[in-house]
Amino acid sequence: MMTVTMSDCVRSMLSDWEAKGAAGDDVEIELSRQFEELTADVISHTAFGSSYKEGRQVFLAQRELQFLAFSTAFNVQIPGFRYLPTEKNLRTWNVDKQVRTMLMDIIKTRLANKDTAGYGNDLLGLMLEACTPEHGEAPILTMDEIIDECKTFFFAGHDTTSHLLTWASFLLSTHPEWQDKLREEVRRECGNGEEEELTGDMLNKLKLVNMFLLETLRLYGPVPALQRRTSSDLDLGGIHVPEGAILTIAITSIHRDKEVWGEDAGEFKPERFENGVTKAAKHPNALLSFSSGPRSCIGQNFAMMEAKAVVAMMLQKFSLELSPKYVHAPMDVITVRPRHVPMILKPAGCPVLSETLVPTTKVAAYVTADLTRQHPPTRTNADKYPPPSALDSHLSPLTKPQRNQFDFNPARSQSNQLEDYRPESTEREREREREGVTAAMGVAWMVAAAVVAVLAPWAFNALVHLVWRPYAITRKLAAQGVAGPGYRFFSGNLGDIKRLRAEGAGVTLDVGDHDFIPMVQPHFRRWISLYGRTFVYWTGARPNVCVADVNVVKQVLFDRTGLYPKNLMNPHISRLLGKGLVLTDGDDWKRHRKVVHPAFSMDKLKWLDSKSDGDTTYSIQFFDMADDDDDDVRLRSAKLAKSVNDVEVELSSRFEELTADVISHTAFGSSYIQGKQVFLAQRELQFLAFSTVFDVQIPAFRYLPTDKNLKTWKLDKQVRSMLMDIIKTRLANKDTAGYGNDLLGLMLEACAPEHGETPLLTMDEIIDECKTFFFAGHDTTSHLLTWASFLLSTHPEWQDRLREEVRRECGDEVPTGDMLNKLKLVNMFLLETLRLYGPVSAIQRKASSDLDLGGVQVPEGAILTIPIATIHRDKEVWGEDAGEFRPERFENGVTRAAKHPNALLSFSSGPRSCIGQNFAMIEAKAVVGMILQRFTLELSPKYVHAPMDVLTLRPRHGLPMLLKRVGGGVTH
């Protein structure tokens, strides 16, 4: 019965073809459409007892659903989105509703005739019987399930088979020898179609046709891939696959796998199926066109029988020749089908068969999906997808661009895209569709709109900030000749910087080698060599313009109009320094500077002289008491006389304590011991701050309770409360001793003015300023002393010369200010130390607006980084000996040491230059002088020359030094 019905359908189709070529002419027919209609007709009759014409609207609607589904196949599937009334969803819901209504109509007709004709013994009849069981049992299928099953069979029952037939025809026409062979077999087993009806038995004997169809399925299987999902964490071929993972079985690729099918896997060779499917490849289950196992295609026999019948009946009557207009471009729209060719009808070519077998009518077959009339093939894509003779890889053009062509684009005319497949929906229907948007959809819209309203500006800003702006800035700067390493999404070049620094981290230098740039600023070294002294790199999504040209540096540092404020991006650095002089800008900075400035005038710097038994002499006591860390400084002083032996001392930590002690006494009237906790907490803050310097700075992150933030907040709280204690002590003694004329005294006076004026500084600002001076006042100077000692020890000739000068100018006395002023060689030596080992290796500003910087238009907000250490080694500025230790270059003063008067940037330059530079230089001269009066410095063999930058530059493993009493036997 089934075969008969199938035969009827096929015969009807062939009769149409014959009618077209009634005059005996060749006809050109678009076969894929014919097969779609045929297979739809067959499934309609065989499974649902209706005709294609009756079920046509179901097929057309399903075709539209198919294209809609495929247009989203490569989108991210967000669960909630399926409920949103998007245009695609609305269309899908509406078409689905139409399908269900149509199916329900077919079912109702069957039920209406039940009493006279029964349910029927086709697929629908079987399902209806399962739905209405006798004897009150629970139905096996609900009506909804039957409808869903109808949808499944309406679609799966024809779409796949029609493409199998299309590809089979294509291969018949491109392999005429096989066409001949098959025709011969068909005529032998089934006759020429004039006398006998095709039977199942006949079809079973068509061995060659069977092999041919299997090979067609292998190369052009309509289903290109299958998917499964893992229901739990499981082991798959030795790989642990997590629950919920999607497994994609790439059938098309597997069918071309040479390891499975042999070296000829890409060729059309039906012979491989001569001994059956299981022996065609190296694996018995290699052919997956119908899948395999319990969930394999239930309709595979049906499809194969249908395909065999159609091929046989076609061959009985026709010879197939591919139209020259065919373009070979298979595409995947859930099922694999051929792509469009323009439909120009023309007479068929010559017959392919020998005289005896020439059929009554010849069909020039060309196959097409007929979906994209708006895209006629061009010479270019015809080249790309060569004609059949050159076919070697059959499905290779299944690539994204082809899929994209079928992206469902509501903006595009649907009649263009799905012209022949969509149900004839009238304007009226569309209106109903719109009216059908229920209240629930309205709510969904509102929710969606609210979410979009909240997220859209954020997403838009993020996009602008992270993608568009970097791109636009890069282009703008490039147009001006400013290049750079190129923005990377989100992190910019921070990864590059970290990597380059990590590469340099393990390196140690020879003690005579002063080029630590590959360890500290390797990125500047590399990028300057590639892009010049002014280039752009990216710290996150912020442009960072490297300013290494001294002329441009001057333009930035000497500006007094506020064009280049400080860059305050890193919250940890702000906690370390407070909003004191270093980090304030504009009027705040002026106010602070006005208060603080008197403390740094030269006459105030006589502190060092007036307390000659105190501050500076501590340096001596430290070295003598090398083994006695925890004692009070004055207690150590008492032990001084006893210590006469040579000792090895780790100098850098000694200098840190010394400079901390000095700033404590001179600026805050306390001792190192009293302020020790502040220094220790600040040290920790400094390392915390540095650990984040090369991270992307996301503003909101500073408020999150991360480990680092929590620690920073805690330390900051400690520092503030300790500073408050020092201030309270001073205020408590105010009536007897006044505010004091040190830095703290000046600030307190500015805070509590007489006569009811507005105070110049608030108490909070004083605390912040204390943080600034506690840190800036000692950390930098201590490293200057460390590096000076290192250079003294590695340049004994300079050690001797300086000692001589000190002895000449100061004798054995504690140097006074006047004496220090005469230490010209010591001064030159310290300047050269600052040049080669300046404690501050880079400083930053930012562009307050779009501005012109040395002829380059720099965008607002761009960071400007001045890589001091790199500039200090620039041979164009300092001469060919820039890398060498040569204090002589400062013989005629700082401004004449290089080709540019402002080339030495250790204390910065211009109005924001270091307020403490005189203080630091006096302190350093005094300490160096007093050390040289007493000791000879000899570098310990334990020393490792590996400068590192932790906001300030220091030796990675400290500075172990052998200190020997002068005249105590050190020979050079």
Chain contacts with ligand HEM (rule: CB under 6 A)? 581-582, 593, 663, 772-773, 776-777, 780-781, 784, 838-840, 843, 906-908, 912, 914-916, 919-920
CB 965, min distance to ligand HEM, A: 28
Nearest to 23 by CA among 348, 355, 366: 348
Decide: 541 and 469 in contact? Cβ < 8 Å: yes
Pseudo-torsion of CA 78, 84, 88, 92, nearest 10°? Answer: 100
Nearest to 316 by CA among 56, 10, 88, 37: 10
Q: CB nearer to ligand HEM: give 322 or 930.
A: 930
CB 516, min distance to ligand HEM, A: 16
C-alpha distances in Å from residue 6, one per residue of 164, 199, 321: 16, 11, 25
Q: CB nearer to ligand HEM: give 379 or 560.
A: 560
Q: CB nearer to ligand HEM: give 359 or 838.
A: 838
CB 402, min distance to ligand HEM, A: 58
Nearest to 614 by CA among 742, 424, 513, 790: 742
DSSP-derived secondary structure for 624-677: HTTT-TTS-HHHHHHHGGG--S-EEEEHHHHHHHHHHHHHHHHHHS--HHHHHH
CB 541, min distance to ligand HEM, A: 23
Helices (H), 422-506: 427-435, 439-463, 469-479, 494-505
Q: CB nearer to ligand HEM: give 108 or 594.
A: 594
Taking each helix axis from N to C end, the angle separating 763-776 and 743-751, rounded to the nearest 10 degrees, works out to 160
Nearest to 751 by CA among 785, 724, 791, 719: 724
Nearest to 670 by CA among 808, 791, 778: 778
Q: Which amino acid appears at position 899 of this protein?
A: K
Decide: 732 and 740 in contact? Cβ < 8 Å: no
DSSP strand pairing (542-547 vs 863-866): parallel
CB 820, min distance to ligand HEM, A: 15
CB 678, min distance to ligand HEM, A: 14
Nearest to 52 by CA among 98, 104, 97, 9: 9
Show the CA angle centred on residue 32, arms to residues 27 and 36, nearest 5°. 120
CA distance 497 to 503: 10
Neighbours of 687 (CB within 10 A): 13
What's the count of helices (H) and strands (E) in the chain, helices before strands? 42, 20
CA distance 94 to 558: 71
CB 787, min distance to ligand HEM, A: 10
Does residue 845 sit in helix, strand or coil? strand
Q: CB nearer to ligand HEM: give 43 or 770.
A: 770
Q: CB nearer to ligand HEM: give 534 or 841.
A: 841
Nearest to 40 by CA among 65, 67, 80, 10: 10
DSSP strand pairing (239-241 vs 647-650): unpaired
Nearest to 317 by CA among 284, 279, 365: 365
Q: CB nearer to ligand HEM: give 748 or 914.
A: 914
CB 780, min distance to ligand HEM, A: 3
Token output for 323? 């139209």
CB 575, min distance to ligand HEM, A: 16
Q: CB nearer to ligand HEM: give 67 or 516.
A: 516
Neighbours of 232 (CB within 10 A): 8
Decide: 742 and 667 in contact? Cβ < 8 Å: yes
Give the residue carrying structure tokens 């282009």: 475
Decide: 100 and 147 in contact? Cβ < 8 Å: yes
CB 545, min distance to ligand HEM, A: 16
Q: CB nearer to ligand HEM: give 739 or 919.
A: 919
Q: How far apart are the first and last CA of the chain?
A: 116
Q: CB nearer to ligand HEM: give 148 or 764.
A: 764
CB 788, min distance to ligand HEM, A: 10
DSSP strand pairing (331-333 vs 335-337): antiparallel
CB 234, min distance to ligand HEM, A: 59
Instruction: Give residue 686's Cα distance to chain centre.
Output: 30
Q: CB nearer to ligand HEM: give 164 or 573.
A: 573
Helices (H), 704-853: 707-732, 734-737, 743-751, 763-776, 779-794, 796-810, 817-821, 824-837
Furthest-apart CA atoms within the chain: distance in Å: 134
Show the CA angle centred on residue 48, arms to residues 46 and 52, nearest 5°. 80
Q: CB nearer to ligand HEM: give 320 or 581.
A: 581
CB 547, min distance to ligand HEM, A: 13
Nearest to 954 by CA among 512, 502, 516, 499: 516
Q: Is 914 annotated as a binding residue?
A: yes
Q: CB nearer to ligand HEM: give 219 or 834.
A: 834
CA distance 972 to 969: 10
Token output for 118? 């029964």
Q: CB nearer to ligand HEM: give 252 or 865.
A: 865
Which residue number has the CB closest to ligand HEM? 916
CB 248, min distance to ligand HEM, A: 56
Q: CB nearer to ligand HEM: give 289 or 780.
A: 780
CB 835, min distance to ligand HEM, A: 11
Q: Which amino acid appears at position 531 of this protein?
A: Y
- Which residues are documented as binding site for heme? 914
- Which residues are documented as binding site? 914
